[in-house]
Amino acid sequence: MWAYIVRRILATIPVMAVVALFVFSLLYIAPGDPAAVIAGDQASPEDVERIRASLGLDRPYLVRFGEWVWRILHGDLGTSIFTNLPVATMIAQRIEPTLSLMTVTILFAVSVAVPLGVVAAWKQGTIIDRLVMAFAVLGFSVPVFVVGYLLAYSFALELDWLPVQGYTPFSHGFWPWLENLILPALALGTVYIALIARITRASMLEVLNQDYIRTARAKGAGQGSILFLHALKNAAVPIATVVGIGIALLIGGAVVTESVFAIPGLGRLTVDAILRRDYPVIQGVVLLFSFVYVLVNLAIDLLYTLFDPRIRY
């Protein structure tokens, strides 16, 4: 097991190297010039060239890539072209809101979706099942920003229960932190509830038809025990997979949600950096995201061994 974990962690290195190469190359060939944006409208071509040189953008591809990799290997993600702040500092400023949003969203989605999926499977073919599936279709179909606006209008503007926008750090208290996250997590969580509920239902239906479930019933096990102890544990592997995928997808979903609710997270940092062609920030954030992707996949693989002891690495 430990050897497997070490192997997987070591395997992240070539993955990250490929990601780094792709990110750098894509940005190199992408149109747009931060020097022109910085120089402003009054600048002469010579001014733009001077800024480009000061940023090191006039050097050959391989030289720039080599320098960038060298810095990364030394733990230096570089400095933002526009803010003049270290990229690591900018990421540190933004990571808490994004992590908070992702954590609350996943907790909320799993705690709602799994019971919904279980109940839908249990009541297969009934009105409850259809209602759950109808919600799942709706959750998939309605864009996150539409749900976000509807929630903000209802619960913030009309009812005045929750704030419209912003983020309060956890250090300012649990409730102030949570009240800013409830609506974004609801909005972002809708699609994941739909996804996880559908997978849970399908997986449960497969398990509920197994012989050992019939045996459990014959032994007189209660419905709750059958559903949540016998069936759910055996149906958990696909659910864990989809939750893992969901965490990865949340990174993309957070971009929209953070914009709609004005949460200063990594998603907005990424979009702002792309629009301005702030290369060091884009490169740093994408590297971080890809690292998180790899780690989430590893965590999910390890979780399989908890749910199914037959799986061994």
Rule CB under 8 A: choose which of 84, 127, 211, 223 binds other proteins: 84
Buried b (16+ CB within 10 A) or exposed e, 145-172: eebbeebbeebbeeeeebbbeebbeeee
State how far the alpha carbon of 60 is from the alpha carbons of 26, 57, 65, 131, in Å. 15, 8, 9, 59
Q: Which of residues 91-120 bind other proteins (CB under 8 A)?
A: 93-94
Number of CB atoms found within 10 A of residue 297's CB:
18
Of 99-107, 121-129, 208-216, 261-269: span binding other proteins (CB under 8 A): 261-269
Q: 3-state SS of the chain: helix, strand, coil percent to 5? A: 80, 0, 20
187: contact with other proteins by CB under 8 A: no
CB nearer other proteins, residue 82 or residue 304: 82
275: contact with other proteins by CB under 8 A: yes
174: contact with other proteins by CB under 8 A: yes
Q: How far is the CB of 74 from other proteins (least distance, A)?
A: 22
Rule CB under 8 A: choose which of 198, 201, 230, 276 binds other proteins: 276
Query: Is the separation of the CB atoms in 92 and 103 below 8 Å?
Result: no
Please report the beta strands in the chain, taking only residues with DSSP state E, as ranges in sequence order: none
CB nearer other proteins, residue 35 or residue 132: 35
Closest C-alpha to 17, from 67, 56, 73, 58: 73
Helix (H, G, I), strand (E, B) or coil at 96: helix
Number of CB atoms found within 10 A of residue 174's CB:
8
33: contact with other proteins by CB under 8 A: yes
Q: How far is the CB of 238 from other proteins (least distance, A)?
A: 36
Rule CB under 8 A: choose which of 261, 283, 284, 290 binds other proteins: 261
Which chain residues interact with other proteins by CB under 8 A? Answer: 31-33, 36-45, 47-48, 50-51, 54, 80, 82-85, 90, 93-94, 149, 152-153, 156-157, 160, 163-166, 168, 172-176, 259-262, 264, 268-269, 271-272, 274-277
